[in-house]
Amino acid sequence: MTTRKDIADRLGVSVSVVSRALNNSGYVQPDKKDAILNLARELGYTREPAALRDGGQSSRRLLLYTENTRNPFYIEFFIGMDDAAQKLGYTVMRCRLPGPGEGSVADAAGLVFSSEAVADAYLNGVGRNDFTPAVCAAFGDVRQLPRHVTIIECDLWRGTEVLIDYLRQRGHRRIAAISPFPLSNTDARLQCWRSCMLPEFGARMDEYFLSITDDTRAANGSLLAGGSGIAHLSAEDYFENGVLGARHFVESGCDATAAICFNEEMALGFIKALSALDRRVPEDISVIGYDGTYLRRYFDKPLTVLDMQPYRQGQRCVEALADLIRGRKVRNQRVVPTTILEGATVRDLNRK
C-alpha cells in the first residue's frame, strides 16, 4: 500500500509537504502540489483526501463539531457560519462528536470546532489521523492543537481584564466569580479572575469563587428540571447552574459587591434566583457577564456584558476555512473583545 512517505521519497520532499498538499491544509507551491497529486493518483494512494476528489470540489459541505446546541452563543455563532458559507458557495452541517466505535463524518471539505476542548476530543479520538482542513474557535484555553488546525481566538484573558477594570472604575473591589467549573479549570476567564483578584483577596479567594460542583448538581438536578426532562445537570446547563450559584452566594454570606458570571445564561439563572431570595440587582449586588447575544434582551433588566461577537467569530471561522481549502496560507487570528454592552445590572458605587 502506498504511503505518504513513498510519495515524499519519490519527489524528494518532506512528508509534511505531502500531507499539506493531499489535505489542502496549508500552503504548497502550485507546481509541487500538482506533482504530488498526480503521483498520488498514479501510485493508487487510497486514503481519498479532499484534494484528490475532483480537485477538492466534490464536497461543498462544512461540518461544525459542537457539544452544546442550546447555548445562545453557539446559536449565533452557527448563524454567522451559515451566512458566510452561503456567500462562499458552501453549506454547513452541525454535528456532535462521534461516540466510541463511531467513525468521523466523511466527505466534508472542512471542519470547524466550537472550542479547544471539542477539537482536542475529536483529534485524539476518531480524527487522530484526519488532516481535513480545520479551524477551531478558541477562547484562551492552553491546549496544544496540531499545527494544521487554524485558531480563531477570542482573547478572554484580556476580555476579563476589561470586565474587572470596568467594575473597578465603578468602585467595586470585592468582585466574585460565578462558575460551573472549578478554579483548577484552564478556562481563561477563571484564570484571569484569579490572577487579578489574588492581591485583593489573598487567602480568602475561595470565599469569592462560587463554583457549582458535580455533587451539588447531582443533589439538585431533579429539583431544577422544571418539567424539561433534565434528570442530571451538567456544567453545560448554565441557567440551572446560575440558580445554584445564587443559592450558594446567599447561603455563604459572601460580601462581594459585584459578581462576574460565566456567560449570559448563567447570569440569567443567577439573577432570577437572587430575586426569589429577596436580593436586588444591582442595588444589593451588581452582575456582569460574557457573550453579547440576543438573550440579554430577555432579562427584566438588560444585562451588562462583554461583547464577544459570536456571529462575527462564526463568519471568521468559515472565511479562514475557505482559504485553507483553496490551499492558501492562513495565520492564526486573535480578536481582543473590549466593548462593554451596558445594561442596568451594574451599580456605580462612586455615585452617592
- Tell me the three cell numbers of residue 210: 462560587
What is the reported pLDDT for 1?
59
248 touches 207 (CB < 8 A): no
Beta-carbon count within 10 A of 70 CB: 11
The CATH architecture of the domain made up of 157-309 is 3-Layer(aba) Sandwich (3.40)
Place 57 in a pLDDT band, splitting at 50, 70 and 90.
very low
Instruction: Give pLDDT tens digits for 170-206.
Output: 999 999 999 999 998 889 999 999 999 999 999 999 9
Q: Do domains 4-55 and 157-309 have the same CATH topology?
A: no
Rounded CA separation 234/180 (Å):
8
Place 22 in a pLDDT band, splitting at 50, 70 and 90.
confident
What is the reported pLDDT for 106?
61
How does DSSP assign 259-275, residue by residue?
EEESSHHHHHHHHHHHH
Non-local (6+) Cβ contacts of 106 within 8 A are none
Instruction: Give pLDDT tens digits for 130-147.
Output: 778 899 999 987 678 887
Task: List the CATH code of the domain at 60-96+108-155+311-334.
Answer: 3.40.50.2300
Place 323 in a pLDDT band, splitting at 50, 70 and 90.
very high
What is the reported pLDDT for 147?
79
23 touches 133 (CB < 8 A): yes
Instruction: Give pLDDT tens digits for 211-234.
Output: 988 777 777 755 454 545 455 667
Reply yes or no on whether the pLDDT at 292 is more than 60.
yes
Instruction: Give pLDDT tens digits for 227-283.
Output: 454 556 677 789 999 999 999 999 999 999 999 999 999 999 999 999 999 999 999
329: left (phi over 0), alpha (psi -120 to 50) or beta: beta
Domain boundary assignment for the chain: 4-55, 60-96+108-155+311-334, 157-309
What is the reported pLDDT for 126?
73
44: left (phi over 0), alpha (psi -120 to 50) or beta: left
How does DSSP assign 140-164, residue by residue?
S------TTEEEEEE-HHHHHHHHH
What is the reported pLDDT for 188?
93
Task: List the CATH code of the domain at 4-55.
Answer: 1.10.260
Which residue do the cell numbers 478554579 mark? 183
> Average model confidence (pLDDT) for the chain?
86
